[in-house]
Structures are given as structure tokens and as C-alpha cells.
């Protein structure tokens, strides 16, 4: 069993957070905030842009702005498998 996020990091993905500001149709004068977080590839952000395309097609809320933060937490060269048993006290 493996963690999807860990495997994504080994493949070069980093944690991406997007602040999505939008207007709902029932309150067009009220700017609202949605925070989205997923593993994605910078600088193209294909996962985020797929989500934003879905938003534009399926959600009846007009986008105002999107602010993106991205951080690579681990890279393939920073991780290596170790054979053996490490006893814990």
C-alpha cells in the first residue's frame, strides 16, 4: 500500500494551493473565497487548470481571481530506499 501524495512527490509534483475568489449568482456584489489544494506540476499547473476549466463549465459562479502558491516538498534525488531494519528504542 502506498500514499498517492508521496508517489506524486517522487514524480516531481509539488503541493499547490490556490485561493479562488469568485462571485455567486445570488450575491453578485459579495466576493467569496474558495481554497483548493492538490499535488500539481509547476509552472504549467495542469491539475489546477483542469479544475478551473471544470469550474467554468459546471459551476454558476464567476471567477474574479486566482492566487497560486506552490512548493516542492520532496524530489526524487532527495529520497533513497534503504535496505535493512532500523530498531527503535
| Residue with more model confidence, 29 or 78 | 29
- The answer to the question of residue 81 being in a domain is no
Number of domains forming the structure of the chain: 1
Average pLDDT over residues 25-34: 93
Distance, CA of 47 to CA of 39 (rounded, Å): 8
- The answer to the question of residue 7 being in a domain is no
C-alpha of 4 from chain center: 13
| Residue with more model confidence, 89 or 43 | 43
- The answer to the question of residue 13 being in a domain is no
Provide the pLDDT for residue 85: 60
Provide the pLDDT for residue 53: 95
- The answer to the question of residue 70 being in a domain is yes
- The answer to the question of residue 11 being in a domain is no
Residue range of the domain that includes 51: 18-76
Provide the pLDDT for residue 13: 86
Amino acid at each position: 500500500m502506498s500514499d498517492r501524495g508521496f508517489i506524486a512527490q517522487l514524480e516531481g509534483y509539488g503541493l499547490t494551493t490556490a485561493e479562488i475568489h469568485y462571485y455567486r449568482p445570488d450575491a453578485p456584489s459579495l466576493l467569496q473565497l474558495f481554497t483548493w489544494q492538490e499535488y500539481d506540476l509547476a509552472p504549467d499547473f495542469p491539475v489546477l487548470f483542469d479544475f478551473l476549466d471544470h469550474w467554468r463549465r459546471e459551476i454558476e459562479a464567476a471567477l474574479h481571481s486566482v492566487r497560486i502558491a506552490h512548493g516542492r516538498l520532496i524530489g526524487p534525488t532527495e529520497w533513497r530506499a534503504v535496505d535493512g531494519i532500523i530498531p527503535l528504542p
